[in-house]
């Protein structure tokens, strides 16, 4: 065997290797997915934050007006709903209605009404908000745009979530609809703080403890655990008898498949329930799915068996055996949404309160459905939702202590108290910036 003397760039030496020749490098080529091809392409980007920050005030108003009304000249008065070429004041940057005579700006009677930040900051914040794939932390947004307070950034993000909740998570979807329920929330930092994750007995102690526990003792232990969990405010699953932690919720998603291979799902609807029960999935389907004409695809969860009979076909995949059934049945698009929500909860937002879980799920539905859209186009779409749902119901007056008093659930809302310290300026006199003890 002859070993060829190959000059190397590192050493420059031409000494022949005495060892066996270097094996040919095997090139591993993975077929790139449709999604990765999009994200690597030039279509994946269009505008940057700098684009918005360079706009003049008038250009910002024109941009917003074109998205809100489709025109800068023919606009609709939000007070009396009359569409006309209302009087424009270039000094005030707002219109005077030809009908009712009231004045209005481009953000009047929208979730952005009464905004304190500049329109450039607002548009830049929106751009950054759509750029995150699993959410945009409000603290990070504040740092990037030098916003005055955390509440400014937080309420802005929350108002965008509300726009998705009230403007986007509505209407029926049809076609091949995948439905799934996933456990979410229930990981409150205040409950975990200062406690070990699990109590582990190792070594000989474990064997001893195991030997001591007879079957009846185990059963008693489980009964006691269940009673303790219920006493702590846990939720009893009406069908299976499981007890879930008090803050645990089931996040339901319904997604329409695109029907094009590699293109995933088109539209997502989300809802929150206390448990995956037949009643909850029925309420979800009644609210969001065109029932008789659609095809339902789920896993083999028992909650879906009764619901499935109302559809043309019910495709079920047994997830304990495979991700895709023998005839191609799967609910992988619903699982894909669950994965994004998980990444948002574990990686970005950390502790989503059950009360706000629906809002965050609606945000994730928007992100999931606009994953193949360049940020500028997606920001325009998000802006359209934000400008078309009217004033904020949930976040107007938030910093002054006005909080939503209920939790949105598919089986009927339930009261939920505001958490954390009271917001807004305390009526008690402040001593050195702190309330007196």
State which residue, 93 or 287, has the beta carbon closest to Zn ion.
Answer: 93
Smallest separation, CB 80 to Zn ion (Å): 3
State which residue, 96 or 188, has the beta carbon closest to Zn ion.
Answer: 96
Distance between CA atoms of residues 276 and 237, nearest Å: 8
Smallest separation, CB 92 to Zn ion (Å): 16
Smallest separation, CB 96 to Zn ion (Å): 9
State which residue, 95 or 360, has the beta carbon closest to Zn ion.
Answer: 95
- Asked whether 150 and 138 are in contact (CB, 8 A), the reply is yes
Q: What is the DSSP letter of 153?
A: H
State which residue, 61 or 334, has the beta carbon closest to Zn ion.
Answer: 61
Distance between CA atoms of residues 248 and 245, nearest Å: 5
Burial 283-306 (b: 16+ CB within 10 A, else e): bbbebbbebeebbbbbbebebbee
Q: Which of 79, 396, 402, 423 binds Zn ion (CB under 5 A)?
A: 79
Contact track, Zn ion, 58-77, x by CB under 5 A: -------------------x
Smallest separation, CB 78 to Zn ion (Å): 8
Alpha carbon 227 to its chain centroid, in Å, reads 34
State which residue, 80 or 228, has the beta carbon closest to Zn ion.
Answer: 80
Q: How many residues bind Zn ion (CB under 5 A)?
A: 6
Distance between CA atoms of residues 329 and 340, nearest Å: 22
Radius of gyration of the chain (CA): 28
Smallest separation, CB 83 to Zn ion (Å): 10
State which residue, 32 or 81, has the beta carbon closest to Zn ion.
Answer: 81
Smallest separation, CB 84 to Zn ion (Å): 9
Smallest separation, CB 86 to Zn ion (Å): 8
Q: Is 324 in the site for Zn ion (CB under 5 A)?
A: no
Give the number of other CB atoms < 10 A from CB of residue 28: 5
Structure tokens at 30: 């993975």
The continuous run of DSSP H or E covering 64 comes out as helix 57-68
- Residue ranges in 209-238 that form contacts with Zn ion under rule CB under 5 A: none
- Residue ranges in 90-109 that form contacts with Zn ion under rule CB under 5 A: 97, 99-100
Q: Is 80 in the site for Zn ion (CB under 5 A)?
A: yes
- Residue ranges in 135-164 that form contacts with Zn ion under rule CB under 5 A: none
State which residue, 80 or 206, has the beta carbon closest to Zn ion.
Answer: 80
Question: Interhelix angle for 375-388 vs 57-68, to 10°?
Answer: 70
Structure tokens at 9: 């760039």
**Rounded (5°) CA angle 138-366-168:** 110
**Rounded (5°) CA angle 65-370-154:** 65
State which residue, 87 or 150, has the beta carbon closest to Zn ion.
Answer: 87
Smallest separation, CB 397 to Zn ion (Å): 25
* Residue 305, φ and ψ in degrees, nearest 5: -65, -40
* Residue 271, φ and ψ in degrees, nearest 5: -160, 160
Binding site for Zn ion (CB under 5 A): 77, 79-80, 97, 99-100
């Amino acid at each position: 065997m002859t070993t060829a003397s190959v000059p190397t760039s590192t050493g420059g030496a031409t000494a022949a290797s005495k060892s066996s020749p270097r094996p040919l490098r095997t090139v591993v080529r993975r077929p790139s997915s449709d999604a990765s091809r999009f994200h690597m392409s030039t279509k994946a980007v269009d505008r940057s934050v700098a684009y918005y920050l360079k706009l003049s005030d008038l250009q910002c108003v024109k941009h917003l007006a074109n998205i809100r009304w489709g025109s800068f000249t023919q606009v609709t008065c939000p007070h009396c709903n009359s569409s006309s070429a209302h009087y424009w004041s270039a000094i005030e940057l707002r219109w005077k209605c030809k009908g009712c005579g009231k004045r209005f700006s481009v953000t009047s009677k929208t979730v952005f009404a009464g905004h304190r930040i500049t329109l450039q900051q607002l548009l830049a914040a929106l751009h950054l908000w759509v750029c995150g794939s699993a959410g945009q932390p409000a603290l990070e947004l504040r740092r990037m745009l030098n916003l005055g307070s955390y509440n400014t950034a937080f309420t802005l993000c929350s108002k965008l979530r509300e726009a998705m909740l009230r403007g986007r998570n509505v209407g029926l979807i049809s076609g091949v609809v995948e439905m799934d329920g996933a456990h979410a929330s229930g990981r409150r930092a205040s409950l975990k703080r200062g406690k070990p994750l699990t109590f582990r007995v190792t070594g000989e102690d474990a064997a001893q403890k195991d030997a001591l526990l007879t079957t009846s003792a185990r059963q008693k232990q489980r009964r006691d655990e269940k009673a303790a969990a219920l006493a702590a405010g846990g939720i009893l699953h009406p069908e299976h008898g499981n007890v879930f932690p008090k803050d645990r919720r089931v996040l339901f998603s319904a997604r329409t498949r695109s029907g094009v291979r590699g293109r995933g799902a088109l539209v997502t609807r989300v809802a929150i329930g206390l448990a995956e029960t037949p009643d909850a999935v029925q309420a979800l389907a009644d609210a969001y799915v065109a029932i008789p004409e659609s095809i339902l695809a789920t896993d083999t969860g028992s909650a879906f068996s009764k619901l499935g009979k109302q559809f043309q076909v019910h495709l079920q995949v047994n997830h304990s055996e495979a991700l895709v059934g023998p005839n191609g049945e799967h609910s992988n698009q619903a699982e894909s949404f669950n994965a994004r929500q998980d990444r948002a909860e574990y990686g970005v937002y950390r502790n989503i309160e059950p009360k706000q879980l629906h809002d965050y799920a609606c945000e994730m539905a928007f992100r999931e459905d606009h994953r193949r859209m360049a940020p500028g186009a997606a920001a325009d779409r998000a802006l359209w939702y934000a400008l078309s749902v009217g004033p904020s119901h949930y976040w107007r007056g938030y910093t002054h202590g006005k909080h939503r008093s209920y939790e949105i659930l598919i089986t009927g809302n339930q009261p939920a108290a505001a958490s954390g310290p009271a917001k807004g300026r305390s009526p008690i006199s402040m001593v050195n910036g702190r309330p007196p003890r």
